[in-house]
Structure formats: structure tokens, C-alpha cells
Structure 1
Amino acid sequence: MKTVLAILKKAGGWHHGLYLTVENPPHVALVIDAMDESGPCGLPALSVAQYADALAKPEMCFELGLAGGAHLTPFYYRDDHAGVEQFSRTIDGENYVFIRDLYDEHEKLAALWDKNLRAQGFAEAFARQRQTPRA
């Protein structure tokens, strides 16, 4: 999710209370939201979503890691239109649960989504949006 990381960098980085909406007509707006709870490995977490008719299509949650350079690691996927909600990494009681095949699928979905966001110019749209004075 290099596109989301580029937007985060332009926004000053992750922080509690971070909430960004990137408008980029004719595409559905992108919403990046710092989660109140940490991810399954205790790292800061982000919800990244596009909503159509108040339904997530899709939403993915990522942990923000910094070791070896900033990166986003998925742990949750939701698509309300398809009726899908999946955790590939989570905490169950005191146990860390990792579902390798589902995690690999989430990685592929995130890479495809990132490719689409980049092609649709979301990082550039955010830069333009930040330069536009608000009334």
C-alpha cells in the first residue's frame, strides 16, 4: 500500500485521531482512519476504506510497521457488497491467530488495490486537496 503510505507521509504521519478523506472524482473517496486499538502484534493500526452507498467496498485494516522502512501489514478485510468479513491475523483470548492462506490472499488484494489507487491518482489528489484553501 505504497499509495496510502505516500498520503500518510504528506499528512505528517500516523497519529491518534488521524482521519483523512481523499476526494478524487469520479472515483469513490478514500478514507484513512487511525484506529483506537492496536493491531494484533501491538503496532499502530489503520483502517483504509472506500465506501459506496455507506457500504465498505472494500475496507482493510493494517498494522503500521517501521522496522526496515515504513510498511503496512494487513490483518482484516471487509466487502459489504459481497458479504465478506475476514481476519487473517487476530488475537483470540491470549493466543495470536495467523491464517497463512488468508493472509496471502489479503496481501494480494492489498497489492491490487494499491495498484488501482496509484493508477487513479489518489496520492496526487491528496496533494491537490491539501493545497486548496478551505472556506
Structure 2
Amino acid sequence: MQTLLDILTKAGGWHHGLHLHIDNPPYLPLVIEATDESGPLGLMALSVAHYGEQHGDAMRDPEMLFELGFAGGVARLDPFYWRNDYVGIEQWSRRIVDDHYLCVFALHRQHEPFAKTWDTNLRHQGFVDAFDPARHVRR
């Protein structure tokens, strides 16, 4: 998840109200936002999504939610949600249900490699270089 962490570092780190919109043609725009709610373990949460458009509606292709944690002083992103509006799929691999932590391990084991592959693709597609904090950070 180093690509997303590098972009987050260039943006000055996670903070409430963080909203990054990165245009990098020919790819779909990438939006990285701090969420208002914590993740399932109570950690800071981050939404990462490519947005397309269909019939005038914004479409996530995909969106993932991550918890931002630190282990040994090293930042780590752990996925807990995946959504793709074009195929009508929404998946929670970790969440709080009736005040209980729920983890669907098989689904989480699918989200983790998808997130790593997506992160690698974002790097190869040049999203780190396309991100300019002076133009893309809204405070």
C-alpha cells in the first residue's frame, strides 16, 4: 500500500476533512478522502476510489475503505470495504454489527491482495507523480 501512503505523505498526512482529487489522464480520477467515521477497530479511516460517470451519476470503480494504523512507527492500511457501482457489488470484510466486531476472513483475504495489486497499478500509472499538493489538497 506504499503508493497510497506516499500520496498521503505528500498531502501532509491524514486529517479530518482530507479530500484529494487526482486527475491523471487517460485513467479515471482518483479520490482519496478521510471518512467521518472510524474503521471497525476504531482507527482513522480512508476512502480511496476511482470515479467514472454513467447517465450523469458518479460511479465508483472501485472504492475501498481502509483503516490507517501504525505498527512499530510504520503506517499501514488495512482494507475493510470494497464496492464497484458498475457491477452492483458492495462488500464489508470487517465491520461493527450490533456493537460486535465482525470479520469475514475469507473476504478479507480477497480484499488484501486486490488492494495491493491496485496500489501497484496506481504507482505504475503515475498517480504519485501526478499528485501536486499545491493543486490537489483541499483544507
Bucket of the pairwise TM-score, normalised by the shorter protein? over 0.9
Runs of 4+ in 1 over 4 A off after TM superposition: none
TM-superposed CA distance for 1:131, in Å, is: 6.9
Which residue in the other structure is 1:118 paired with?
A: 123
CA separation of 1:119 and 1:48: change in aligned 2, threshold 3 A: same
1:84 matched to 2:89? The reply is yes
TM-score relative to the length of structure 1: 0.93
TM-superposed CA distance for 1:130, in Å, is: 3.3
Which residue in the other structure is 2:40 paired with?
A: 40
Q: Quick one: distance in 2 between partners of 1:34 and 1:3?
A: 16
Query: What's the CA shift string for 1:60-83, capped at 9, x where partnerless?
Result: 000000123101000000001111
Query: What's the CA shift string for 1:80-118, capped at 9, x where partnerless?
Result: 111110000000011100011100100011011111101
Q: Which amino acid aligns with 1:77?
A: W
How do 1:46-65 residues align onto structure 2 when only pairs under 5 Å count?
46-53=46-53, 54-65=58-69
How do 1:124-135 residues align onto structure 2 when only pairs under 5 Å count?
124-127=129-132, 130=134
Superposition CA RMSD, Å: 1.4
Matched-pair identity in %: 56
The secondary structure found in structure 1 opposite 2:129 is: helix
Q: Which amino acid aligns with 2:31?
A: V
Q: Quick one: distance in 2 between partners of 1:60 and 1:45?
A: 10
Q: Considering fraction of residues, name the structure with more strand.
A: 2
Q: Which amino acid aligns with 1:7?
A: I
Query: What's the CA shift string for 1:12-68, capped at 9, x where partnerless?
Result: 000000000011111111000000000000000000000110100000000000123
The secondary structure found in structure 2 opposite 1:66 is: strand
Query: What's the CA shift string for 1:109-128, capped at 9, x where partnerless?
Result: 1011111101101001004x
Aligned residue pairs, count: 131
Q: Which amino acid aligns with 1:130?
A: A
TM-score relative to the length of structure 2: 0.90
Unaligned runs of 5+ in 2: none
The secondary structure found in structure 1 opposite 2:43 is: coil
